[in-house]
Amino acid sequence: MNSTNNTHSSCIQQRVFTNYINAFLSRKYQTEIQDLVTGLADGNHLIHLIQELSRYYKDSSVEFEHPIEQDARIRVKMLTNVQLVINYLRRVDGLILTGVSSEHIVDGNLKMILGLIWSVLFHYQISGDARRNSKQKPRSRHIRTASTIETAEIDLLSWINHKLKDKHRSVSNFNHDWVSGEALAALVSSLGSSVSIDTANRTAEDTITSCLDVASQSLGVPKIVSATDFSNDLDPICIMLYLSLFRNNPFEKIPEQSTEQEQVLVKEQQEQAETNLEISHSAPLVEITQPLVESMTDDIEPVLEPEVTTPLIQGSTTQKKNKKYWMGGAVGISAFMTIIYTVFCGNYELAAFFGPYDSRCCCCF
């Protein structure tokens, strides 16, 4: 029986943790993971999760010991990325991750993956240790024990009951008090939702579905759980994780923030645009003409004589017109000389034979 319950809880936690991670990835990085077992293997999505949680809860950027392997397709690079996260959680956040190794995450060990993600979410999202530790130097190390979980539960329940006071309701656990949906409806309404939720003559599943929709639309709380998760066999960990989003919602600030890489890219683009503008304004305008020295044969290259005058590009329309006029003039002169030879010499064939440039006919002039 315990094995069946553990399997059921593992399935629920796997889905809820995946939805939580995707709430970050889809809004910030326009991507999602389909499976928690394989989606974190390369370490990049795990790195993104830690970066965003640290930015929101500690208001600081994550500095890893070594560069991140962006294109982690081979095993050694995957292990490097995952180990960077584990080392950071141990070194900076003071978490003691007993038995968790990078091989477990890369190889898809579901039990170890769930343990790692729960430790991260409990530290950042639920317990508030990340906010307290960010102000302490050196940071104390934390072991997630039953007593610390119980303390976090009591703290969150106290906050919820304070919000439910005006609704004349109270809760004492993260189990059966939430099954009917009435406590969730009261919490959503107490936090300023403009949409009222009618709980009369409705099933518990319908009530909870409406609460999840209103909380998402009015309060910005992502739907990481479903209505069926609030049934009699609900998982307290997942319910506590979802309800903690009403107290600390890291997703509200995501659209307003940008990553350090994006800021660097924008800055580089601006500097490049300014550089291009300065070059365009300061570059001297040097105009070069290339008068062509035409030859009688086509296999002699034109001679270029650069000078600063009106622009004239080789092969342009102006040059083609000049060449055309020059050739036309030569043909005209040749025809005129032929007529002269014919008139004075009286022999057309002889005139055509000698041509206008033959020195033997110069006596005709």
Question: How confident is the model over 224-247, as pLDDT tens digits?
Answer: 999 999 987 789 999 999 999 999
Domain match, 149 and 137 both:
no
Residue-wise pLDDT tens digits, 263-272:
555 456 556 6
Burial 254-284 (b: 16+ CB within 10 A, else e): beeeeeeeeeeeeeeeeeeeeeeeeeeeeee
Establish if 51 belongs to a structural domain.
Answer: yes
Domain match, 62 and 197 both:
no
Establish if 92 belongs to a structural domain.
Answer: yes
The boundaries of the domain holding residue 192 are: 145-259
Instruction: Say what the pLDDT of residue 2 is.
Output: 62
Instruction: Say what the pLDDT of residue 85 is.
Output: 96
Q: Is 193 exposed, middle or buried (0-12, 13-18, 19+ CB in 10 A)?
A: middle
What is the number of domains present in the chain? 3
Domain match, 359 and 291 both:
yes
pLDDT > 90 fraction of the chain, expressed in percent and rounded? 45
Domain match, 150 and 39 both:
no
Which positions of the chain have pLDDT values less than 70? 1-5, 129-147, 253-365
SS3 string, the chain, reads CHHHHHHHHHHHHHHHHHHHHHHHHHHHHCCCCCCHHHHCCCCHHHHHHHHHHHHHHCCCCCCCCCCCCCCCCCHHHHHHHHHHHHHHHHHCCCECCCCCCHHHHHCCCHHHHHHHHHHHHHHHHHCCHHHHHCCCCCCCCECCCHHHHHHHHHHHHHHHHHHHHHHCCCCCCCCHHHCCCHHHHHHHHHCCCCCCCCCCCCCHHHHHHHHHHHHHHHCCCCCCCCHHHHCCCCCHHHHHHHHHHHHCCCCCCHHHCCCHHHHHHHHHHHHHHHHHHHHHHHCCCCCECCCCCCCCCCCCCCCCCCCECCCCCCCCHHHHHHHHHHHHHHHHHHHHHHHHHHHHHCCHHHHHHHCCCCHHHHHHC
Establish if 264 belongs to a structural domain.
Answer: no
Instruction: Say what the pLDDT of residue 250 is.
Output: 86
CATH classification at residue 5 = 1.10.418.10
Select from 119, 142, 165 the last residue of a domain.
142
Q: Which amino acid is at 295?
A: S
Domain match, 35 and 134 both:
yes
Domain match, 197 and 327 both:
no
Domain match, 74 and 200 both:
no
Domain match, 210 and 342 both:
no
Establish if 152 belongs to a structural domain.
Answer: yes
Phi, psi of 69 (to 5 degrees): -85, 100
The closest of 181, 228, 176, 241 to 208, measured between CA atoms, is: 181
The residue behind tokens 């005129």 is 336
Query: How distant, in Å, are the alpha carbons of 129, 328, 332, 349, 351 from that of 341?
Result: 112, 20, 14, 10, 5
Establish if 265 belongs to a structural domain.
Answer: no
Instruction: Say what the pLDDT of residue 338 is.
Output: 57
Domain match, 239 and 334 both:
no
Domain match, 4 and 131 both:
yes
Establish if 15 belongs to a structural domain.
Answer: yes
Establish if 268 belongs to a structural domain.
Answer: no
Domain match, 18 and 60 both:
yes
Select from 83, 111, 142 the last residue of a domain.
142
Instruction: Say what the pLDDT of residue 309 is.
Output: 46
The residue behind tokens 């343990």 is 115
Q: Which amino acid is at 271?
A: E
Establish if 26 belongs to a structural domain.
Answer: yes
Domain match, 59 and 110 both:
yes
Select from 224, 259, 294 the last residue of a domain.
259
